[in-house]
């Protein structure tokens, strides 16, 4: 089946969860609603017409290392060329470097579309954007001038080189080295693993951002610097120069995203790759942390994307596949399985979870925009704190539900779902990387509890809980019969989140292990509350418009009555589960 971009659902999230209209009205973002819709519609066409047809073939062919060169699947290079030519790689970039200066909210909506249509492809611009962000924010004028225009134009792609075999989550122990040269450049040596699009022949150059240590660097995370290492050197006139000392030494054989080459990269096998410092010496991790929020949000959006795609395919199958008697069956005829109550529960769960995660990611992108663009510095700071708080939720909740929804999608297909040619299994395989990369979801949960709850003495989370509660009050006050028990369930959920938050804030200083033991169920609880609240705001807006029955009211009500019901139990697990989590000896 063909992918169709969910333009209405995306616009609904932008309008009702993220309040884009108010930001346009007060001039925080300089665009208008028609432009936003037009961009999303055009992106939808590109995704459906160019990227979607390559998704399955790309999975089956995969990217391969042949004679030291990575070969991407058939059609990949041409598609990437069209992507760059269409300006799709430059949506959120500075206009100064050739970008289109669109808000993060809109850029993330487009990113959802690339990744729904073809996640193996979507990773390439995702990583390139990360590299652009780093150079834009911290690069010298030389680096910006030399590299940014072609990266923004999509003529060159970018990579992020963090992980080493022994240092994945704990970057403090990485060993790659960099030594300063007389000309101000650095010689970089070391091996990096899990490097997405570390090599390919789609573009004439690849710009690697590499974490490494200087010889005299302090140990741990305070001794890490960030370097830009191009695959090919760049001549003074901007033309491509000689090959730098960096090679792809292997491509991983993975569960999913087969088309996206996951490379082992070797820097300096012939003496040292030429690199340029980005930011200050020994401050590389700070540069990375600044970009990390955007990258984590982008991965959360991939979770939304794969959930959307899996839902579309399952819904289409459920409308066509006939098994058993249903409401519309005549005589002994079988009816479409979409009419079975249990199949409906799965489909409603898939739709509601997807729209909830989309709303969380859209709000996070909105706050990113406000944190950068608002005129009032107090508003910028407050928004930056919201981004910090919501980012781990956007990343982990959305990618967890990406996996769950993809699994439900397989299930709805029955035996056909297990057959690769059906396509549902690819989403199940592709989705599985999302809770792992860009900081595992366990690390997101720890980040939420240990670093984000204490922000500003707890006032950041307190303010957000207050906003959530306000929505609960609005829902209850609206007193609409079509809302069912949404107000009651959502209130129970936000109360549970508030109680779990209070417990964690109290426990964290005295017994951090007990707090960490509750981090994962707490993050899930946070996601359910945020998702339920944002969907409820959408329901309230739809009700105010009053144009008859709205799918957004139906989804919000379903979410509250069927999914936020897990909230009180999650709270109990957070508050009462630590002792038994930590009790049994598991070490060898």
- Is residue 186 within 8 Å of residue 277, measured between CB atoms? yes
Give the integer Cα–Cα distance in Å for 256 and 301.
Answer: 17
Closest distance between a copy of itself and the C-beta of residue 88, in Å? 27
Q: Does 347 engage in binding with a copy of itself (CB under 8 A)?
A: yes
Q: Which of 10, 403, 448, 461 binds a copy of itself (CB under 8 A)?
A: 403
Nearer to a copy of itself by C-beta: 35 or 169?
A: 169
Contact between 8 and a copy of itself (CB under 8 A)?
Answer: no
DSSP per position, 464-485: HHHHHHHHHHHHHHH--GGGTT
Q: How far is the CB of 584 from a copy of itself (least distance, A)?
A: 4
Write the CA distances from 292 to 131, 240, 269, integer angstroms: 11, 30, 29
- Whether 95 sits among the annotated catalytic residues: the reply is no
Q: State the binding string over 533-552 for a copy of itself (x if CB under 8 A, else -).
A: ------------------x-
**Contact positions with a copy of itself (CB under 8 A) in 190-229:** 193-194, 219-220
Q: Is 580 exposed, middle or buried (0-12, 13-18, 19+ CB in 10 A)?
A: exposed
Does 2 help bind a copy of itself (rule: CB under 8 A)? Answer: no
Q: Please state the closest distance from residue 93 (CB atom) to a copy of itself, in A.
A: 29
Cβ nearer to a copy of itself, comparing 108 with 574? 574
495 touching a copy of itself, by CB under 8 A = no
Stretch (H or E) spanning 295:
helix 284-320
Binding positions for a copy of itself, 467-486, rule CB under 8 A:
484-485
Among 254, 283, 380, 480, binds a copy of itself (CB under 8 A): 254
DSSP 8-state assignment for residue 566 = G
E strand or H helix that includes residue 277: strand 273-278
- Judged by CB under 8 A, the stretch of 17-25, 97-105, 205-213, 423-431 that binds a copy of itself is 423-431
Q: Residue 572, interface with a copy of itself (CB under 8 A)?
A: yes
Alpha carbon distances (Å) from 32 to 358, 459, 549, 567: 21, 33, 28, 38
Question: Is 344 near a copy of itself (CB under 8 A)?
Answer: yes
Annotated catalytic residue within 438, 473, 506, 561: 438
Asked if 567 touches a copy of itself (CB under 8 A), the answer is yes
Of 231, 224, 188, nearest in space to 207 by CA: 231
Residue 134: which residues within 8 A CB-CB, separation 6 or more?
A: 209, 226, 278, 287, 288, 291
# of chain residues touching a copy of itself (CB under 8 A):
100
Interface with a copy of itself (CB under 8 A), residue from 436, 455, 463, 508:
436
Q: Does the protein bind a copy of itself through residue 441 (CB under 8 A)?
A: yes
Written as six digits, the tokens of 93 are 């970039």
Scan residues 287-316 and list those touching a copy of itself (CB under 8 A): 315
Nearer CB in complex with a copy of itself: 257/374 = 257
Among 61, 155, 440, 478, binds a copy of itself (CB under 8 A): 440
Is residue 510 a contact residue for a copy of itself (CB under 8 A)? no
| Residue 573 interacting with a copy of itself (CB under 8 A) | yes
In the range 177-196, which residues lie near a copy of itself by CB under 8 A?
193-194
Burial class (CB in 10 A: 0-12, 13-18, 19+), 410: buried
Burial level of 453, CB count in 10 A (0-12/13-18/19+)? Answer: buried
Task: Mark 519-557 as b/e (b = at least 16 C-beta within 10 Å).
Answer: bbbbbbbbbbbbbbbbbbbbbbbbbeeeeeebebbbbbb
Cβ–Cβ < 8 Å for 92, 103: yes
Q: Which residues are catalytic?
A: 438
């Amino acid at each position: 089946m063909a992918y169709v971009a969910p333009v209405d659902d995306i616009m609904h999230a932008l309008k009702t969860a993220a309040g884009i209209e108010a930001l346009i009205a007060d001039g925080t973002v300089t665009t208008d609603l028609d432009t936003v819709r037009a961009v999303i519609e055009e992106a939808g066409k590109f995704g459906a017409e160019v990227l979607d047809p390559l998704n399955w073939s790309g999975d089956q062919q995969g990217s391969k290392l042949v004679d030291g060169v990575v070969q991407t699947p058939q059609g990949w290079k041409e598609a990437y060329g069209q992507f760059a030519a269409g300006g799709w790689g430059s949506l959120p970039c500075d206009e100064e470097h050739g970008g289109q200066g669109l808000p993060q909210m809109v850029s993330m909506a487009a990113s959802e579309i690339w990744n729904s249509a073809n996640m193996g492809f979507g990773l390439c611009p995702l990583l390139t954007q990360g590299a652009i962000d780093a150079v834009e924010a911290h690069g010298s004028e030389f680096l910006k001038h030399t590299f940014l225009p072609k990266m923004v134009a999509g003529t060159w792609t970018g990579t992020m080189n963090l992980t080493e075999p022994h240092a994945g989550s704990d970057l403090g122990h990485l060993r790659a080295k960099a030594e300063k040269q007389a000309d101000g450049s650095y010689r970089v040596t070391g091996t990096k693993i899990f490097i997405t699009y570390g090599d390919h022949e789609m573009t004439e150059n690849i710009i690697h951002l590499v974490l490494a240590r200087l010889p005299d660097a302090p140990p741990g995370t305070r001794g890490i610097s960030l370097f830009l290492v191009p695959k090919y050197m760049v001549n003074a006139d901007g033309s491509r120069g000689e090959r730098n000392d960096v090679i792809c030494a292997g491509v991983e054989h993975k569960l999913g995203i087969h088309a996206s080459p996951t490379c082992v990269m070797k820097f300096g096998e012939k003496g040292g790759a030429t690199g340029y410092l980005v930011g200050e010496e020994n401050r590389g991790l700070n540069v990375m942390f600044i970009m990390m929020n955007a990258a984590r949000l982008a991965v959360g959006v991939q979770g939304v994307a794969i959930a959307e795609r899996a839902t579309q395919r399952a819904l289409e199958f459920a409308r066509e596949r006939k098994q058993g008697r249903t409401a519309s069956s005549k005589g002994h005829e079988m009816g479409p399985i979409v009419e079975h109550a249990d199949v409906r529960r799965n489909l409603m769960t898939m739709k509601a979870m997807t729209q909830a995660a989309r709303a969380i990611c859209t709000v996070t992108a909105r706050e990113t925009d406000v944190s950068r663009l608002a005129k009032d510095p107090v508003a910028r700071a407050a928004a930056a704190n919201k981004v910090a708080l919501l980012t781990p939720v956007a990343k982990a909740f959305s990618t967890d539900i990406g996996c769950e929804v993809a699994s439900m999608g397989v299930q709805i297909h029955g035996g056909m779902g297990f057959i690769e040619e059906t396509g549902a299994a690819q989403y199940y395989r592709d989705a599985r990387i999302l809770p792992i990369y860009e900081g595992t979801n366990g690390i997101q949960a720890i980040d939420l509890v240990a670093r984000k709850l204490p922000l500003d003495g707890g006032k950041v989370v307190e303010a957000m809980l207050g906003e959530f509660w306000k929505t609960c009050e609005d829902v209850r006050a609206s007193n609409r019969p079509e809302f069912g028990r949404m107000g009651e369930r959502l209130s129970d959920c936000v109360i549970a989140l508030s109680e779990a938050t209070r417990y964690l804030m109290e426990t964290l200083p005295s017994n951090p292990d007990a707090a960490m033991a509750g981090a994962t169920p707490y993050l899930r609880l946070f996601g359910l509350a945020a998702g339920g609240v944002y969907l409820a705001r959408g329901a309230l807006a739809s009700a105010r418009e009053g144009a008859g029955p709205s799918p957004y009211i139906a989804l919000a009500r379903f979410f509250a009555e069927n999914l936020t019901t897990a909230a009180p139990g999650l709270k109990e697990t957070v508050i009462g589960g630590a002792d038994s989590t930590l009790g049994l000896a598991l070490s060898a």
